[in-house]
Amino acid sequence: MPGTQFIQVKSPNVIYGSTAIESTYDYTECNVQYENDRITAVPETTTYNIRTQTLIPKLGVMLVGWGGNNGSTLTAAVLANKLGLSWPTKEGTVSANFYGSIIQSSTILLGTDESHKEVFVPLRSMVPFVNPEDIVFDGWDISHLNLREAMRRAQVLDYHLQEQLADEMVKLRPRPSIYDSTFIAANQAERANNIIAGTREQQMDQIRKDIRDFKKKNSLEKVIVLWTANTERFSEVRYGLNDTAENLLSSIKKNESEVSPSTIFAVASILEGCAYINGSPQNTFVPGYRTS
């Protein structure tokens, strides 16, 4: 198959500009209506205008729970690929790869060629994506362990891979994080030795400072905050507490106990202009966050 570095779509609905791809997409669904004994199907079309940035930014990712199993393993995996590592296992020598990554290892059916054969192309060739090996990592954790020790505690990676990564991982240490024993499992208390003290507003201000510090020190153009920490219990959602952006910010200022740590991280992220990804099934995105 010819080179697939980047796929272009030849269509009046797609425009390639110097900084973005502009596309128009019509999504059609069927609205079913009941009238006495008659069923009527009414097609309805919604038009979406989609803009995809083509200039790949220097990206930083800050992980909440960086020293946990997920955070330490993700960081180690990207490093192993970046360094081109291989290591022995009982099944033989294994080399680092991005198998399991939807973007890096998946293909997508593009269409059929002149001989009516289906053409599959790498998903990463459809639009410009950040190379994961170029991502700068940082983050927070309630444990002070550096990532070498966190990796060893997690016991996810093969021993020989851990040994090759040790000198790099030991340089990485999480920033203090928010700990609230009423929101997560009691078994986390014994490792909570790296804590941001103060009120919820003071904690949010520190998170915002951390994001700005990380961005400045690494000359980053974009930062994403990703929750990889323990799953929290659900927060109460009630009038006056977190039903609007104004009330949510007021509740943080008043140090309301029902504002969860994950919501504090999410609000801090949005105030700093960062995308926030919730990696746990908890109600971080209370109504007040969604309207902010």
Is the pLDDT at 198 greater than 90, yes or no? yes
Question: What's the pLDDT band for 162 if we cut at 50, 70, 90?
Answer: very high
User: Whole-number mean pLDDT of the chain?
Assistant: 94
Is the pLDDT at 6 greater than 80, yes or no? no
Can you tell me which residue has the tokens 């393993």?
73
**Which residues in 197-236 are b (16+ Cβ under 10 Å) and which e?**
eeebbebbbbbbebbeebbeeeebebbbbbbbbbebeebe
Per residue in 19-76, pLDDT (tens digit) is: 999 999 999 999 999 988 999 999 999 999 999 999 999 999 999 999 999 999 999 9
- Left if phi > 0, otherwise alpha if psi is -120 to 50, otherwise beta: which for 119? beta
Pairing of the two strands 118-122 and 136-140:
unpaired
The pLDDT assigned to 290 comes to 78
Dihedral angle, C-alpha 270, 265, 155, 96, nearest 10 °: 10
The pLDDT assigned to 7 comes to 87
Can you tell me which residue has the tokens 């955070």?
71
Token duo for residue 31: 């609205």
Can you tell me which residue has the tokens 């990703």?
226
Dihedral angle, C-alpha 142, 147, 151, 157, nearest 10 °: 140
pTM for the whole structure: 0.89
